[in-house]
């Protein structure tokens, strides 16, 4: 994989349900994986920066895992709330010190 890919592109989740989505990235020359939440009309907000294979990070109801050997990261949201509606971006930092972004997963929470 030469690009950072996110799936699904969009999803609708019922309030209270849990959900997860995927970020795939090149595993070669990997340095770090970033997750951002981007709400409409706001700036992207950093959620996590992960560097080590097997890293798991948590922030409230949101958590993320990292597998650098196979080149993927999962973002989990437990008990979705309307305020979780946003686009979730992942970005991969490789040896060239430039962040390469995925196209994002657009999450809509249905009340």
Partner 1 sequence: GAVVSQHPSRVICKSGTSVKIECRSLDFQATTMFWYRQFPKQSLMLMATSNEGSKATYEQGVEKDKFLINHASLTLSTLTVTSAHPEDSSFYICSASRRVGFLRSNQPQHFGDGTRLSIL
| Contact footprint for partner 1 (CB under 8 A) | 4, 31-32, 34, 36, 41-44, 46, 49, 51, 89, 91, 93, 97-104
The least distance separating partner 1 from the CB of residue 85, rounded to whole angstroms, comes to 18
HSE of 36, CA atoms in CB hemisphere, 13 A: 19
Q: Give the whole-angstrom CA distance, residue 64 versus residue 88.
A: 12
Cβ burial, residue 89 (10 Å; 0-12/13-18/19+): buried
Nearer to partner 1, 15 or 45 (CB): 45
Task: Tell the smallest beta-carbon distance from residue 44 to partner 1 (Å).
Answer: 5
Residue with smaller CB distance to partner 1, 15 or 46:
46
Two structure tokens written together for 80? 């979705």
Output the smallest distance, CB 16 to partner 1, in A. Answer: 29
């Amino acid at each position: 994989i030469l690009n950072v890919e996110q799936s699904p592109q969009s999803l609708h989740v019922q309030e209270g349900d849990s959900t997860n989505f995927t970020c795939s990235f090149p595993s070669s020359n990997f340095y770090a994986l970033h997750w951002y939440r981007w709400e409409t009309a706001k700036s992207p907000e950093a959620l996590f920066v992960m560097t080590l294979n097997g890293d798991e990070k948590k922030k409230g109801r949101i958590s993320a895992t990292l597998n650098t050997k196979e080149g993927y990261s999962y973002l989990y949201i437990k008990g979705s709330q309307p305020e979780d509606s946003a686009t979730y971006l992942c970005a991969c930092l490789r040896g060239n010190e430039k962040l390469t972004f995925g196209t994002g997963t657009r999450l809509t929470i249905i009340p």
